[in-house]
Amino acid sequence: MVTLQLNESLAIADRELSSFLAGRGFNNKGEDLQALREAVEDQHSTNAQLERELEQIRGMLEDEIERSETVAAELETIQEECADMHEEVTTKTAMIEERETKLAEKKGELEELQQQVAEKEAKLARRKEQLDSLLESIKGEEKECDELESNLAQRQRDLKAREQVLTEALEQVRSQRRSTSRLSDGPTKSGDEDGLQEEDDTERDIRMSELRLKLESQKMELAVQEELKAKNEKLIKDLEARIQ
């Protein structure tokens, strides 16, 4: 049984060898063994060359693998740096957006303040116009007051002049009365008394005229003061109303 299996294995090996040699142009029956050895040696040489090339390729592949690992490490480092940069950019973007939001809010507040300032400027302009108008009114009133004071001063000067005339007339009457009193005697006493009575009447009339002049002056001054007071009160009320 064992012999049969061995024979079959040898037959199979012989067929494979024949097929191998036939594939290379050899015939295992009657073929030159030297040529076969040379062919085998050539094949070994070729295989050795292929092994060397393969080893070289393996070395190159290992170098490439090493470079690839280096590149992969660098790439990982770059990815980490990119991740850090992305995080930093994200943070800065958030900060910029926050600042832009605050800037927009500040801009809105500034526009509102500008609007308020514009309204206040317009209000101040209207107030200035009112005050300018009031100032013109005050100047007009001051001019009228100056005219009233000037007229009052002129009337007072006129009254003083008339008072001076009456005073001089009164002094003249008194002087005449004293002269008459010194020159008077018994027979002419009645006539002198009539003259004295007439002088007394004249003096009384002069005094009454003086009193009337003084009273008229005081009334005039009081009237001017009342008019000035009324004008001042009116100006104050107008000013308060315009300020409000």
Whether the model clears a pTM of 0.75, i.e. scores above it, the answer is no
Q: How many residues does the chain have?
A: 244
| pLDDT for position 171 | 77
Alpha carbons 74 and 113: distance in angstroms, whole number: 56
| pLDDT for position 190 | 47
b/e burial code for range 123-146 (CB count within 10 A of at least 16 → b) = eeeeeeeeeeebeeebeebeeebe
List the structure tokens of 8.
Answer: 């079959």
Angle at 17 between CA 12 and CA 19, to 5 degrees: 95
Residues of the chain with pLDDT under 50: 2, 30, 185-192
| pLDDT for position 233 | 74
CB 19 within 8 A of CB 29: no
- Computed over every residue of the chain, the mean pLDDT equals 76
| pLDDT for position 184 | 54
Domain chopping of the chain, boundaries = 2-82, 134-183+190-243
| pLDDT for position 6 | 58
- The HSE-up count of residue 134 (CA atoms within 13 Å, CB side) is 17
162, 163, 147: which is closest to 224 by C-alpha?
147
CB 220 within 8 A of CB 152: yes
H/E stretch holding 1: none
Task: Write out pLDDT tens, residues 160-217.
Answer: 787 787 777 777 776 776 676 665 544 444 444 555 555 566 667 667 776 777 777 7
| pLDDT for position 188 | 46
